[in-house]
Amino acid sequence: MNVLVKSATIVDPKSDFHNQTVDILIEKGTISQISKRIQNSKNYKEIRRDNLHVSQGWFDSSVSFGEPGYEERETIANGLDTAAKSGFTAVAVNANTNPVIDSYANISFLKSKAEKHAVNLYPIGALTKHSDGIDLAELFDMKTAGAVAFYDYQHPIANPNLMKLALQYASNFKGLVCSFPQESKISGLGVMNENVTSTSLGLKGNPALAEELQVARDLFILEYTEGKLHIPTISTAKSVELIRAAKQKKLDVSCSVAIHNLIFTDEHLKTFNTNFKVLPPLRTQKDIDALISGVKDGIIDMVTSDHNPIDIEDKKIEFDYAKYGTIGLESAFGALNSIFTIKKTVELLTNGRERYAVDTTPIAVGNSANLTLFNPNSTYTFTKDHMFSRSKNAMFEGHNLKGNVYGIIANNQLVIQ
């Protein structure tokens, strides 16, 4: 693939051309020249867009696609196309499929389905067999096959000894163990944040305590085992402080937050719109303020769309019975860019690569082109026209966003809108 990107402002602190508006010549998938003005002497395809900005390709650490088993929600092929159109050149895909991704063969299947695509798929293997929380899965075999982490998606590990064994065993090959932050006996049958809002709506509450107890427990176990732990999608102010204290102790812990938990409060559930039913649940403004502060000061290492397509039959039903989840790849950039600077937004969308052992490629001559192309200043209302997923369960539908994605250049391919 040969292409000339014209008048693009580079947003990449690791590049010598950071904050400069330049032309970028890409030949056979490699950046061959970066300059103020490049003549198109070979008549390559040119990319010109309004207010064009370019950064390193974005990465999402928590994406669900459904296939195998739930293709009615999303397929791998369409999921990767959605990621590309949303600006992501790499995604880590969860194991919540049928069958659960818990073996060498399952990991190999995922990787084979993503071959030759512009977006790189990085499988996350289940931490326990069938994600049932009883016995550890084949962690080392999955690592050998290409798994970048181990996580029973949204299934907490109830047995603390099992978590201890997982951290100890995975440390032998520097495996990243993920633990969903929820104590199920405390959360019970709660379907939203336990608060005055849940009482007024007559819905069972899932208290912040359920998350914070699990986070505290896992951090104690981490300190004992000296393992490598990632806590995905925290949602409370206290969780931020617990992880802050752990990092001050130099424990090997990282955490993420779902983008919607930085924007929406439990007040949005007053209409009983099941697109707002997510796990962990939407919390309070106090929690949002603490989470945003945690993002800004680096206690929260990365953000995720926590993209989770759910078919209409499992969403357009009574709130108590609706499944948890919202799609989020398509709205990720516009939502983040609405609350952070463009520099911080791009930083957050690329931060998780190192933790998940995903290659980082600065924008420099001689490097492979792994780029996201976007306009940070456009504003629009997010509608179904902006959704590329097969499922349309979007929490951000009808909300104003800032910034749109033009496409990506990655794996010697161009995906452009």
Indicate whether 372 belongs to any domain.
yes
CATH number at residue 333: 3.20.20.140
Please give the structure tokens belonging to residue 280.
């962990």
User: Are 291 and 240 a contacting pair, CB within 8 Å?
Assistant: yes
Domain span at 398: 3-53+364-416
Q: Which of 23, 252, 266, 306 is catalytic?
A: 306
**At which of 306, 325, 353 does a domain end?**
353
Quote the number of domains for the chain. Answer: 2
Bond from prior residue into 160 cis (ω within 30 degrees of 0): no
CA angle 8, 10, 13 (to 5 degrees): 180
The rounded distance, in Å, linking the Cα atoms of 114 and 76 is 7
Residue 236: name the closest of 263, 257, 222 by CA: 257
**At which of 330, 353, 376 does a domain end?**
353
Is residue 335 domain-shared with residue 404, that is, in the same domain?
A: no
What is the full DSSP assignment across 163-206?
HHHHHHHHGGGT--EE-----HHHHTT--EE-SHHHHHHT--EE
Return the pLDDT at 417: 86
Return the pLDDT at 263: 98
Is residue 248 domain-shared with residue 160, that is, in the same domain?
A: yes
Is residue 172 domain-shared with residue 24, that is, in the same domain?
A: no
Is residue 231 domain-shared with residue 162, that is, in the same domain?
A: yes
Q: Based on C-alpha coordinates, what's the Rg of the chain?
A: 21
Q: Count of alpha carbons within 13 Å of 317, Cβ hemisphere only? A: 11
380 SS3 class: strand
Bridge partners, 414 (sequence order) = 409
Indicate whether 400 belongs to any domain.
yes
Is residue 124 domain-shared with residue 38, that is, in the same domain?
A: no
Residue 310: name the closest of 301, 298, 329, 323 by CA: 323
User: Which segments within 80-227 are labelled E, that is strand?
Assistant: 88-93, 120-125, 149-150, 177-178, 192-193, 205-206
Is residue 331 domain-shared with residue 261, that is, in the same domain?
A: yes
Is residue 160 domain-shared with residue 20, that is, in the same domain?
A: no
Return the pLDDT at 307: 98
**At which of 353, 382, 407 does a domain end?**
353
Is residue 269 domain-shared with residue 138, that is, in the same domain?
A: yes
Is residue 371 domain-shared with residue 263, that is, in the same domain?
A: no
Does 306 qualify as catalytic in the annotation? Answer: yes
Indicate whether 344 belongs to any domain.
yes
The rounded distance, in Å, linking the Cα atoms of 258 and 256 is 7
With a cut of 50, which residues of the chain have pLDDT below it? none
Indicate whether 199 belongs to any domain.
no
Q: Cα(first)–Cα(last) distance of the chain, in Å?
A: 17
CATH number at residue 13: 2.30.40.10
Bond from prior residue into 232 cis (ω within 30 degrees of 0): no
Indicate whether 38 belongs to any domain.
yes
The rounded distance, in Å, linking the Cα atoms of 287 and 258 is 13
Is residue 229 domain-shared with residue 147, that is, in the same domain?
A: yes
Please give the structure tokens belonging to residue 193.
């944040």
Residue with tokens 């997510």: 278
Is residue 244 domain-shared with residue 390, that is, in the same domain?
A: no
Indicate whether 201 belongs to any domain.
no
Is residue 45 domain-shared with residue 67, that is, in the same domain?
A: no
